[in-house]
Structure 1
Amino acid sequence: MIKLTRLNGEEFMLNALMIEQIQAFPDTTITLINGKKIVVKNTEEEAAELASSFYRSIGLQHSMVKAGGNYE
């Protein structure tokens, strides 16, 4: 789980394993694997680093990069 902040300032925890895509439109928009979109205050880089750090903490970072994912 990673802690992010919605545009209204509300903090929430997101299961990083559900993230499919992170983009800036210019607001950072996270698309989940179920198609739901969440807009957050965090920058695209911050959100990606939080997700990457989470993957490392549970031992998935190396596996995802080796499988062809670009999570660094």
Structure 2
Amino acid sequence: MIKLTRFKSGNHEFVLNADLIETVEETPDTVITLTTGKKLIVEESMNEVVRRVMEYRRAINRNFR
């Protein structure tokens, strides 16, 4: 799970299951498309979303060693 901020919501954070992310694009806003087809617009940059997903996956893999 990764913590993100909804676009233009002040400081409204939410947690997203990173396994549901299908694509991330900047248009220029960061749009995350989920495997369900739902789209989310977030404050974080595309690079930041990718960094958080990678960090999440590394943390999971560390627990299996």
Category of TM-score, reference length = shorter chain:
0.7 to 0.9
Moved segments of 4+, more than 2 Å: none
CA RMSD of aligned residues (A): 0.7
Match of 1:34 among 33, 36, 45: 36
Q: Sequence identity of aligned pairs in percent?
A: 46
**Higher RCO, 1 or 2 (CA under 8 Å, sep at least 6)?**
2
1:35-50 counterparts in 2 under 5 A? 35-50=37-52
TM-score, normalization by structure 2: 0.86
Number of equivalences: 59
1:5 aligns with 2:8: no
Q: Work out the CA distance in 1 between the residues paired with 2:20 and 2:60.
A: 14
Q: Which 5+ residue runs of structure 2 have no aligned equivalent?
A: none
